[in-house]
Structure 1
Amino acid sequence: MPADLSQAEMIKSILQDYAASVGLSINFQKSTLFTVNSSAEATSRLAQIFDYAIGTMPFTYLGLPMGTTRPTVTDLMPLVASVERKLSSAAVLDLGSKLMLVNSVITSLGIYAMCSIKIPPRVLEHLDKLRRYCLWAKSSDEGTKAVSLAAWEMVCRPKNKGGLGVVDLKIQNQGLLLKMLHKFYNRIDLPWVNLVWSAYYVDSIPHASDPCGLFWWRDVMQLSPIYRAITTVQVGDGRTVLFWKDLWHDAILSDNHPRLYSFAMNEDVSATETPGDVFGVLKDFSQANFTSTAFAMKWRIRVLSGYGNPSAQTNGKSLHGSCWLTG
């Protein structure tokens, strides 16, 4: 909410009226006030209204470090500590039970964090070290020892590839963040999706724009090449689809027609701008060979027949936004 004193007083009044109506009391001292881009004086006044303690960033919310800067290794140490607490009985278990503990319990502890942010490599290395210890730890007269019986890369292979099926945390982290990209590109009706589109990409194509936003979104957008490599595009209005570089036809046009692509004035032109006049995106169309000319003419005919028009019907529905499909 805005750092406005009148709004803060109104919110406190609403909370107190609700508490009185249900016969409860609110303990404001259990809460902490965090402000962004607010003066110390305004923060102090807001804290006095609610009788809150004043907190500083980063802070932990639902187990994740919250702040305006990238989490450090120290900020994510609670995640490492939660894994360490699960290792107390690892040495007395048989190998099958250890494998179950690693896959079902220890690996699962980091899923929530990996769904939200890119985990630093040093933290992933520490978690893998703990997982190796859990898998290979063995009690002996000399104490507990952990001697690896196979390379960790082999252990992380699927069972049908000769491994033990242990999840690769780096790949899992990328896969979970790709789910965010899928929601973003398909404009799922979520607050954060609408915010990112309206704040950064009103008149631009996300994967053709310079990096922008906070650290978490920059990390997510770094996975855009992977996401685009495993998806196809069902063109609606074409405003967020690259004509040359996205897979919206049978193949990526820049790969299938490199000769024609070499004459493009704007390599990152959208599918909306290009179909209206295929010849307008070429530096010197007269230099293109007759095969490229025939290709462009074929596309011109398809454009004139309504292909790529925002009002074109697809599966019985009008697509005003492009749909990115996996599989």
Structure 2
Amino acid sequence: MTVYVNSGAPQEAAAPVEPSVPRPLRFAALGDSLTAGVGDRVDGGWRGWAVLLAEALTPAGGDGDPAGRRPSGPAPAFHNFATSGALTRDVRAVQTPAALAFAPDIASVVVGVNDTLRRSFDIASIARALDEVCAALTARGTVLLTACLPDPGVMLGLPAPLARPLARRQRAVNTLVHTLSARYGAVHLHAADPAWVADRSLWSADRLHPGERGHRMIAAQFHAMLTARGLTLGPPPPREPERPPPSRTEALLWLATAGAGWMVRRSTDLLPELLWLAGAEVRHLVRGTAARLDLRADLALTRALTALPPAAPLARMGE
């Protein structure tokens, strides 16, 4: 076949160009049991907010919308690297290299509560590890999702001498996460909001992990913020649970089995440290010097943030 252009000279027609298929959005989830889905049990396993968000990133149309009311496209690729019990150093050493190999466009990094429950808690080490994770991901143009988290002492209803040291640690971790979220342009969720913490319908029997309703709320709020940045494709995840909340009997059964096992494991690590911290708390309260503990924690956080290296310029998604 011959076509003619303005010069009048005949030219051979070019071969028809196949329409390019857009690259699927890639979403990686890094973190601990919260992101692994603990508290949202389905079919004998855990689902969780990251899976719900990944499903909501799937473009409508095609199989998802037979009527074709919205544009369709390739389904996002999703990988959940989160593991129960993970510390910040585990996310840096194990999960981040695997996530970088996955080359995500969006990556959630939600971690830190387990660090507050360990004798090895050191805000400077946590700051270095989390900064390295954020820097490595954003250097390739990945959009970060982050969240500050509730104080585990409040969630567990611990007495003040036990709860205050944990609150101090979680406050430091949340301040660190706020700082790094601003530094790396993250989509940040304030999951430590008092209203969120006080609503028991959002939490599972263990009082540390969200239930299905809570996981759905996290997924929906991240979806809304991603939509504001023009980064979502599908409709938001439904907020209403598909399953009834655990009965009182089921909750007591969990506490007597898995919950008891959790306490036994923590007793060899956290409990001795927590008792020592509680003793120091009581001594300072008696002396009227409790403010020194807060000042000491604030100073350690300031030093940790000051010691971080300068942030590199952020890459845009896909660069």
Shorter-chain TM range is under 0.3
Q: Relative contact order, CA 8 A, sep 6+: which one is greater?
A: 2
Rg larger in 1 or in 2? Answer: 1
TM-score (norm 2): 0.23
